[in-house]
Amino acid sequence: MEKVISDIGIISEKEKNSETGLISKENNSGKKKKLYVESYGCQMNFSDSEIVTSILAKEGYDTTSDSTEADLILINTCSIRERAEQTVRNRLNHFNGLKKKRPELTVGVLGCMAERLKSKLLEEEKIVDLVVGPDAYRDLPNLVSQVDDGHKAVNTFLSREETYADISPVRLNSNGVTAFISIMRGCDNMCSFCVVPFTRGRERSRDPQSIVNEARDLFENGYREVTLLGQNVDSYKWSSNKEFKGKAQIEKANEQEIVNFARLLEMVANVHQDLRVRFSTSHPKDITDEVLYTMIRHENICKYIHLPVQSGNTRILEMMNRTYTRNGYINKIDAIRDILGEECGISSDMIVGFCSETEKEHKDTLSLMDYAQYDFSYMFMYSERPGTLAEKKYENDIPEEIKKKRLNEIIEKQQEISLARNKRDLKKVHKILVEGFSKRSDKHLQGRNSANKVVVFPKAAFKKGQYVNVMVNDCTTATLIGEAVN
Ligand code: SF4
């Protein structure tokens, strides 16, 4: 029998709601406790916030989108760049005002910033009661009750096993059509500029059957697209043989026992032909032709790949410890174009102004963009991160104004290429999955084509969750515009 102690004393068994196993937690005014979650950073973090919400829902928390009525505020943080952490500190400042009015309010910091700073965050930010790393979310109920008992609580243990495979995420801010499924956690690459290996730990892949079940469950609940998530999906590897734990050992398992990313992709695609499948993020050193041929075999696997390059120059790639060269990357682009064709959407990530990058080496990134012809990209100036290999080994010596100039140059280049790529889609019919109303008009709907491009068209009688064939007859740098033809 389970009893819960909170700051208003013993709550009797009777309040336990047997069907859902949910415990109704009440605050001082006897109302159900409310949870407010704010998420920053990558899609993995947004997915984790859905896991966190599920864990606390079992503890009787209702979610609210209004922080002023929350009893528990959790910020799921990103640490990839200095600015991301500054944003969180500004938010903590804002919540400080709320806490002054309601001292019983609990404020917690989750995610990569929590993992990077650990208990130091409690010293730096007095408002913070709770610091929880990405692998410790199961411990949240215990940590919250420690805070309820008047203590500060920290758990930043990084696990080699944890995948939260048995926890059904509570979909937050969902359009009811598309959803993310995290297939693995952590990263074994050690890119010299990146904090992720330190904040999310070693790679571990989730049981493929639990992923297929989640995809089937989503399909049965009306979702029509899933995106398989991982820091590096191409190194997904799972063995049915329990003897083989951890990636290194799984390599020893025989072929039959191993589920690699291509097999997982096929398993999810076979859930239903009307369930679209996307995935992110790929890694140039690990993406295989087997994955590309699996994509060709299934119409419902979207023809789009996010393949971060970071730099177009081999010397800089070596300093970044990206483990591939400029030519090695170009070979992957060629393989994608050969096997999936020119229509396949490709996007990338690029960092300008990395330590000692010369003007000529920057030009190599621009020329690689000309070669790869990305549909869009995420582009950043190098931001030195504490504790990374680059911070230890290299000087952050490129002046800010040079970084800014180079960033503007690649943004300009990308906009030229995006527009040219979109113009290739004119006068063609694209199959669109409708996600909702266009941001600009409720007389128009929007969705994405297989290449992950946003398409806007007049609503007519169509609705969310439907597949619609749209003839594209106009475009901007970021959007295709058309008319439904079915
Ligand atoms: S692949 Fe590199 S950049 Fe990506 S999460 Fe891993 S270490 Fe970071």
Q: Which of 78, 116, 182, 187 to mutate to test the pocket of ligand 1 (most atoms within 8 A of CB)?
A: 187
Number of Cβ within a 10 Å radius of residue 162: 18
> Angle, nearest 10°, between helix axes 261-269 and 289-297?
10
Ligand 1 atom nearest to 349, measured from its CA: 3
Q: Which residue in this structure is represented by tokens 């500190």?
A: 89
Number of Cβ within a 10 Å radius of residue 165: 16
- Could you tell me if the CB of 79 is within 6 A of ligand 1? no
CA of residue 231 to ligand 1 center, whole Å = 6
Residue 10 has a pLDDT of: 33
CB 359 within 8 A of CB 313: no
Ligand 1 atom nearest to 310, measured from its CA: 3
Which residues in 188-309 belong to E strands, given as ranges? 204-205, 225-229, 237-239, 258-260, 276-280, 304-306
Residue 254 has a pLDDT of: 62
Q: Which of 43, 188, 191 to mutate to test the pocket of ligand 1 (most atoms within 8 A of CB)?
A: 191
CA of residue 372 to ligand 1 center, whole Å = 21
| Domains of the chain (ranges, CATH numbers) | 13-155 (3.40.50.12160), 178-423 (3.80.30.20), 429-484 (2.40.50.140)
CA of residue 41 to ligand 1 center, whole Å = 14
The residues facing 181 across adjacent strands are 228
Candidates 190, 206, 76, 191; CA nearest to 133 is: 76
Q: Cis omega (within 30 of 0) on the bond before 281?
A: yes
CA of residue 26 to ligand 1 center, whole Å = 42
- Could you tell me if the CB of 197 is within 6 A of ligand 1? yes
- Could you tell me if the CB of 194 is within 6 A of ligand 1? yes
CB proximity list for 16: less than 8 A, separation 6 or greater: 2, 23
**Rounded-to-integer distance, Cα 110 and Cα 101, Å:** 23
- Could you tell me if the CB of 231 is within 6 A of ligand 1? yes
CB 188 within 8 A of CB 197: yes
Number of Cβ within a 10 Å radius of residue 28: 11
**Rounded-to-integer distance, Cα 84 and Cα 163, Å:** 25
**Rounded-to-integer distance, Cα 469 and Cα 483, Å:** 8
Question: Per-10-residue mean pLDDT for the chain, 486 residues long?
Answer: 34 38 55 92 95 96 94 96 93 94 96 96 94 98 96 96 95 92 96 96 96 98 97 92 58 72 98 98 96 98 98 98 98 98 97 98 98 98 94 97 98 98 98 96 97 97 97 98 94
Determine the residue type at 117.
Answer: L
Residue 11 has a pLDDT of: 34
Residue 429 in tokens: 């019919």
Candidates 95, 71, 90; CA nearest to 7 is: 71
Residue 247 has a pLDDT of: 55
- Could you tell me if the CB of 232 is within 6 A of ligand 1? yes
- Could you tell me if the CB of 283 is within 6 A of ligand 1? yes
Phi, psi values for residue 118, rounded to 5°: 55, -135
CA of residue 192 to ligand 1 center, whole Å = 9
Tell me the pTM: 0.91
Ligand 1 atom nearest to 188, measured from its CA: 6
CA of residue 186 to ligand 1 center, whole Å = 9
CB 153 within 8 A of CB 143: yes
Task: Return the residue whose CA atom lies nearest to atom 8 of ligand 1.
Answer: 194
Q: Which residue in this structure is represented by tokens 């070669």?
A: 371
CA of residue 390 to ligand 1 center, whole Å = 13
> Interior CA angle at 305 toward 301 and 311, to 5°?
170
For the chain, first and last CA: distance in Å?
58
Which ranges of 298-435 would DSSP assign to H, the alpha helix?
Answer: 314-319, 326-340, 359-372, 389-393, 400-423
CB 130 within 8 A of CB 147: yes
Q: Which residue in this structure is represented by tokens 């290999």?
A: 389
- Could you tell me if the CB of 187 is within 6 A of ligand 1? yes
**Rounded-to-integer distance, Cα 379 and Cα 408, Å:** 9
Task: Return the residue whose CA atom lies nearest to atom 2 of ligand 1.
Answer: 191
> 430-458: buried (b, 16+ CB within 10 Å) or exposed (e) per residue?
bebbbbbebeeeeeebbbbbbbbbbbbbe
> 366-390: buried (b, 16+ CB within 10 Å) or exposed (e) per residue?
bebbeebebbbbebbbbeebeebbb
